[in-house]
Amino acid sequence: MRRVLAPLVLIAAWHAPVQARDSLGIFERWGAFRDPAIPRCYAISEPVRRSARPNDTQHWRGFMSIGTWPKQGIRGQIHFRLSRAISPGGAVNVSVGDRRFALVAGAADAWAADRRMDAAIAAAIRASTSLSVEGRASGSGAFADVYALRGAATAMDAAALGCARIR
């Protein structure tokens, strides 16, 4: 348990370095947190496996989050911090169960294209055991970050409840 908790706390601290966060719970490899100052709530995890390339200098600790910003009316937004920098114009896809989604990618981040896709990915997460996000890394070829989904639904629910009364 401690082996899983420490990375989640570090990721949460890095995800929003200035604000104080409230832990809403740790669920398997997923954590749920609330930033009351913003306010926002999110479920977060790091990959259980990522493609490793020798001599790849553009890689870092990736994570996946599902966030809620109640004052902006945003709920269940899917976000990936990729473990590799993406080639300019490169595609990023996420596979969950038998579903595959083309994400909108930045240099090192990826999101669902719209709220409908956020909801479809979240529903697939609830019904699956693993998720893979794949792309073409700048200078080092294809990569994949794999996430375990056990505990994800509970963390997503805890994050949603953590911001339920904020308007």
Domains, the chain, in order of start with CATH, read 2-162 (2.60.40.1880)
What pLDDT digit, counting tens, does each position of 43-73 carry? 999 999 866 554 555 557 899 999 999 999 9
Q: What is the dihedral of CA 145, 106, 80, 48, to 10 degrees?
A: 20
CB burial class (10 A; 0-12, 13-18, 19+) of residue 86?
buried
Q: Name the DSSP class of 98.
A: T
Q: In terms of pTM, does the model score above 0.85?
A: no
* Cβ-based neighbour number of residue 77 at 10 Å: 18
User: Mean pLDDT for the chain?
Assistant: 85
What pLDDT digit, counting tens, does each position of 65-121 carry? 999 999 999 999 999 999 988 888 889 999 999 999 999 999 899 999 999 999 999
The predicted structure's pLDDT at residue 138: 74
Phi and psi at residue 6, to the nearest 5°: -60, -50
* Cβ-based neighbour number of residue 53 at 10 Å: 16
**Integer CA distances (angstroms), 126 to 130, 156, 157, in order:** 10, 9, 11
Q: CA 49, 50, 54, 58 torsion: positive or negative?
A: negative
